[in-house]
Amino acid sequence: MFMGEYSHNIDTKGRIIVPSKFREDLGDQFVITRGLDQCLFAYPMNEWHLLEEKLKKLPLTKKDARAFTRFFFSGAVECELDKQGRINIPAPLRKYADIEKECSVIGVSNRVEFWAADNWNSFVEESEDSFAEIAENMIDFDF
């Protein structure tokens, strides 16, 4: 399980250090793709394969299913850690997530998320104000 929040800078070549606490569970190779809320999602290969199977079962006849699957898979790339524990995030993914320098790397259960630090800070501030309301709505999901 991934949890925690870390701050790292992305270098001019698009490389970023993956927090050491995440490296073992992500494995030597993992998949990174466009996520929701203008961040990037990174999945260990086993989680990626589970997600892939679920997405394959979506009905091809549904426009939203096709759009989501295209969005998710077209941005996906396999990443490999270098000897310094870094990955290279391709330019289109950096652009999508607005990651230029400062990056927040967070653990979210079965995935790791990469956020532009400003976007993450804004998300946290907005969410803190409505956290009680969000928690109240979670009751519908047997939380």
Q: 74-88 pLDDT, tens per residue?
A: 999 999 999 999 999
**Beta pairing, strands 77-80 & 2-9:** unpaired
Give yes or no for a contact between 115 and 70, defined as CB atoms under 8 angstroms apart.
no
- pLDDT band for 142, please (50, 70, 90 cuts): low
Give yes or no for a contact between 112 and 106, defined as CB atoms under 8 angstroms apart.
yes
Give yes or no for a contact between 85 and 8, defined as CB atoms under 8 angstroms apart.
no
Please state the pTM of the whole predicted model: 0.92
* Residue 108, token pair as written in the block: 């979210």
Q: What is the dihedral of CA 86, 121, 3, 56, to 10 degrees?
A: -80
Report pLDDT digits (tens) over 50-68. 999 999 999 989 999 999 9
Length of the chain, in residues: 143
Residue position matching structure tokens 């494995």: 27
* Residue 111, token pair as written in the block: 């995935």
**CATH classification (class only), 2-116:** alpha beta
What is d(CA 53, CA 31) in angstroms, rounded to the nearest whole number? 15
